[in-house]
Amino acid sequence: MFLESHIFRLLITLTLCVLSFVSFTNATPVLVEKAMTSGNTKWTSSFDLDVKPNEVLVSIDISLLPSKGVSGLKLKDKLVLWKEAINQKWNDQFIVSIKGKTKPIRFKVRFTHHNPHHRVVVHPDNWGPNQHNWYLSMPAYVAAHELGHMLGAYDEYKGGALSPASKIVDYSSIMGGNPVKGKAAIRHLVVLEKVLMEEIGTDKVNISNAL
């Protein structure tokens, strides 16, 4: 009985090991959530991370709630433009080497009310967008900037929610003051990188710019 229970326990342990390995490397995505703080500004970085055989897929589900004065039709037009801007700024930019195998990092945004990572109120006009408030009148690339916050990036313009550690200000960055010209950078993916390193090994993960 003693020996049997030990074997049984060993089997369970082995099964759990295999399961936890499978859960990260195969189909099941991992939910990433990290509380972000810069001065008085607080937000949550949240997305699903899925290490697939040929890509690392980052899925961000955003629920857009139209406020008074935002018609469904106008919002529908904007969704297309916002998605395009996000794709243009974030996709085909980064690759990650995992245990020596290089895969692209792909960002997939869905506008859905089902179990969203983020909730955003859409306003008709005025100015002052942030992760939780978007405007029909804002340039589409601002959506790509706000997506950066959702991924865990800080602002990189004076007066913004700067990184408390590095306080980087960079106007050539998507997180700087000019989202139209600004580019996404590897340092914006630090939350994602940290989770990969924790799960796979610090020395086995390396994110770089796609050529």
Point out which residues bind Zn ion (CB under 5 A): 155
In angstroms, the CA 153 to CA 133 distance is 17
Helices and strands in the chain: count of H runs, count of E runs: 4, 8
For Zn ion, give the closer residue by CB, 150 or 207. 150
b (16+ CB within 10 A) / e for 39-54: eeeebebbbbbbbeee
Give the CB-nearest residue to Zn ion.
155
CB of 60 to Zn ion, least distance (A): 16
CB of 155 to Zn ion, least distance (A): 4
Tell me if 70 sits within 8 A of 58, measured CB to CB.
no
CB of 141 to Zn ion, least distance (A): 12
Q: Measuring CA to CA, which residue among 194, 171, 169 is closest to residue 183?
A: 171
For Zn ion, give the closer residue by CB, 43 or 94. 43
For Zn ion, give the closer residue by CB, 63 or 133. 133
| Helix (H/G/I), strand (E/B), else coil: 52 | coil
For Zn ion, give the closer residue by CB, 6 or 181. 181
